[in-house]
Chain A
Amino acid sequence: MNEVPHLSLHVPEPAVRPGGQPDFSTVKIAKAGAVPRPAVDVAPEDIRDLAYSIIRVLNRDGEAVGPWAGLLSDEELLTGLRNMMKLRAFDARMLMAQRQGKTSFYMQHLGEEAVSSAFRKALNKGDMNFPTYRQAGLLIADDYPMVEMMNQIYSNEADPLRGRQLPIMYSSKEHGFFTISGNLATQYVQAVGWAMASAIKNDTKIAAAWIGDGSTAESDFHSALVFASTYKAPVILNIVNNQWAISTFQGIARGGSGTFAARGLGFGIPALRVDGNDYLAVYAVAKWAADRARQNLGPTLIEYVTYRVGAHSTSDDPSAYRPKTESEAWPLGDPVLRLKKHLIVRGVWSEERHVQAEAEILDEVIQAQKQAESHGTLHAGGKPSVRDLFEGVYADMPAHIRRQRQKAGF
Chain B
Amino acid sequence: MARMTMIEAVRSAMDVSMGRDDNVVVFGEDVGYFGGVFRATQGLQAKYGKTRCFDAPINESGILGTAIGMAAYGLKPCVEIQFADYMYPAYDQITQEAARIRYRSNGDFTCPIVVRMPTGGGIFGGQTHSQSPEALFTHVCGLKVIVPSNPYDAKGLLIAAIEDPDPVMFLEPKRLYNGPFDGHHEKPVTPWSKHDLGEVPEGHYTIPIGKAEIRRPGDAVTVVAYGTMVHVALAAAEETGIDAEVIDLRSLLPLDLDTIVQSVKKTGRCVVVHEATLTSGFGGEVVSLVQEHCFYHLEAPMVRVTGWDTPYPHAQEWDYFPGPARVGRALKEVMEG
Contacts and interface: CB of A to CB of B under 8 A. Distances in A.
A167 B314 contact: yes
A131 to B, nearest CB: 15
Interface of B: 29-30, 32-34, 37, 50-51, 54-62, 85-86, 88-89, 124-129, 278-279, 308-311, 313-316, 319-320
A255 B279 CA distance: 42
Given A218-B59, A401-B308, A388 B127 contact: no
A354 interface: no
Contacts of B60: 218
A164 B33 contact: no
A404 B307 CA distance: 10
A35 interface: no
Given A182-B128, A183-B128, A386 B316 contact: yes
Contacts of B319: 386, 389, 408
A9 interface: yes
27 contacts: A162-B315, A163-B315, A164-B315, A165-B126, A166-B124, A166-B125, A167-B314, A169-B126, A183-B89, A184-B58, A184-B86, A217-B59, A218-B89, A220-B89, A245-B29, A246-B29, A248-B29, A248-B34, A253-B58, A383-B315, A384-B315, A384-B316, A401-B308, A401-B309, A401-B310, A404-B278, A405-B308
A245 B34 CA distance: 12
Nearest to B124: A104
Contact of A246 (B30, B51, B85, B311): B30
Interface string A369-406: 00000000010000110101110010000001100110
B310 A389 contact: yes
B34 A321 contact: yes
A253 to B, nearest CB: 5
Interface size class of A (residues with CB under 8 A): 35 or more
Nearest to A409: B319
Contact of A315 (B37, B309, B320): B37
For B50, B278, B309, B311, the residue with the greatest tally of chain A CB atoms inside 10 Å of its CB is B309
A164 B308 contact: no
A183 to B, nearest CB: 6
Contacts of A17: 33
Nearest to B125: A166
Given A246-B30, A321-B33, 18 more contacts: A8-B51, A11-B55, A104-B124, A105-B125, A155-B315, A166-B126, A166-B314, A182-B129, A183-B128, A217-B57, A220-B89, A255-B57, A388-B316, A389-B310, A389-B320, A393-B311, A400-B278, A401-B310
Nearest to A391: B310
Given A183-B88, A219-B89, A166 B127 contact: yes
Contact of A183 (B57, B61, B62, B85): B85
Nearest to B57: A217
A404 B308 contact: yes
B61 A164 contact: no
B47 to A, nearest CB: 15
A359 interface: no
Contact of B128 (A181, A219, A247, A405): A181
Interface in A1-25: 8-9, 11, 13, 17
A393 B314 contact: no
B171 to A, nearest CB: 18
B232 to A, nearest CB: 16
Contact of B37 (A246, A253, A401): A246
Contacts of A182: 85, 126-129
Contacts of B124: 104-105, 166, 378
Given A183-B88, A217-B58, A253-B58, A165 B309 contact: no
B57 A393 contact: no
Contacts of B55: 11, 247-248, 252
A164 B30 contact: no
Interface in A169-204: 169, 181-185
Contacts of A408: 308, 319
A112 interface: no
